[in-house]
A = this chain, B = another copy of it.
């Protein structure tokens, strides 16, 4: 019985790999991971000195920031809910609209976004080049580059560190053959998750994160959940079919990464499950069914890798100073 469910599940999902996944055009080395960790934690990647990657992808709180939308430079609010960085390397593309192919492409976005870190590639390179220890780390991480300290290499190093942020969960243990890893309620939730059709969008190793679907496939949620101004992937493809299309959220660690949806408007996971059932599948789930699905989703909460807080180089006399000024472009 359990074995039959497991075989069906293995057709749809995949357990996390036990090793750091390879990524395109960026061989992952220990030196690159260490450099990437330093960069990920470094608030000097932002113009203000206030925000690092860690600020909105907080490793203490599920790899995101537990807000509707993030607060950035000048106390501005970003347009969409910050997605978790955990296991993100396994997503088919990055951002809610998939506009970045991979994490090295993604990493360059927030650093430059005026409402986020509000920095420029030139200023980032000037900042990193001004600290001898960073120059050494970049040289070690990119030994074949004539000019190792670059914005591109910053992004590659961050991608390398982020690729290590995998969180094996009870669901993986169960997929790998451990019957005791999921309890009856969680198994019932898994069965429902498969039978109701949630797996049409939420499948694969990240239980989502693989493809794009219209939010409101059957019935569009209200503007409180699906704000009219944000047309999702339409902005990327300029195709009418892509209006209100978003990447299906990867569901690993979903129980610890409220609030939900690109709008971040829903704080309760059960409510989110019910909205999804109605808007995407056109069928209401009972209260008990929703509880069971939530129990299954809880089994996707994984174990965080141990991350030792890095020690960053001190600024030198030539390090650009932080500025909290808001530049209107």
Given contacts A50-B71, A308-B308, A315-B267, contact A42 B60 (CB under 8 A): yes
Instruction: Report A213 CB to chain B, min CB distance, Å.
Output: 26
- Bound: A124/B61 CA distance, A: 17
* CB–CB B65/A324 < 8 A: no
Bound: A257/B311 CA distance, A:
12
Number of copies of this chain in the oligomer?
2
Contact A49/B67 with A60-B42, A60-B311, A307-B308 known, Cβ cut-off 8 Å: yes
* Cβ contact within 8 Å between A58 and B43: yes
**CB closest chain-B residue, reference A70:** B50
* The residue from B60, B75, B255, B315 contacting A41, defined by CB atoms under 8 A apart: B60
- From residue A167, how far is it (CB to closest CB) to chain B in Å? 10
- Number of A residues with CB within 8 Å of any CB on chain B: 41
Q: Give chain B residues whose Cβ lies under 8 Å from the Cβ of A314.
A: 61-62, 255-258
- A312 engages B60 (CB within 8 Å): yes
Distance to closest chain B CB from A176 (angstroms): 22
Report the minimum CB–CB distance from A33 to chain B (whole Å): 15
Contacting residues, chain B, for A55 (C-beta < 8 A): 50
Q: How far is the CA of A308 from the CA of B305 in the complex (A)?
A: 10
Closest to A74 in B: B75
The answer to the question of A44 belonging to the interface, with a C-beta cut-off of 8 Å to chain B, is yes
Cβ of A267: which chain B residues have Cβ within 8 Å of it?
315, 317, 321
Q: Is A59 positioned at the interface, with any CB of B under 8 Å from its CB? A: yes
Q: Whole-angstrom distance between the alpha carbons of A267 and B314 in the complex?
A: 11
Rounded to whole Å, the gap between the CB of A259 and the closest CB of chain B is: 8
Q: Is the CB of A324 within 8 A of B75?
A: yes
In angstroms, Cα B312 to Cα A306, docked, is 13
Interface hits, A50-93 → B, CB 8 Å: 50, 55, 58-62, 65-67, 71, 74-75, 77
A309 at the interface (CB under 8 A from B): yes
* Residue A227 is within 8 A (CB to CB) of chain B in the complex: no
Residues of B within 8 A of A65 (CB): 43, 49
Q: Can you spell out 23 A-B residue pairs with CB atoms less than 8 angstroms apart? A: A41-B60, A42-B60, A43-B61, A43-B66, A44-B66, A48-B71, A49-B67, A60-B309, A60-B312, A62-B314, A66-B322, A71-B324, A74-B75, A255-B314, A257-B314, A258-B314, A258-B315, A267-B321, A306-B309, A307-B308, A307-B309, A308-B308, A308-B309
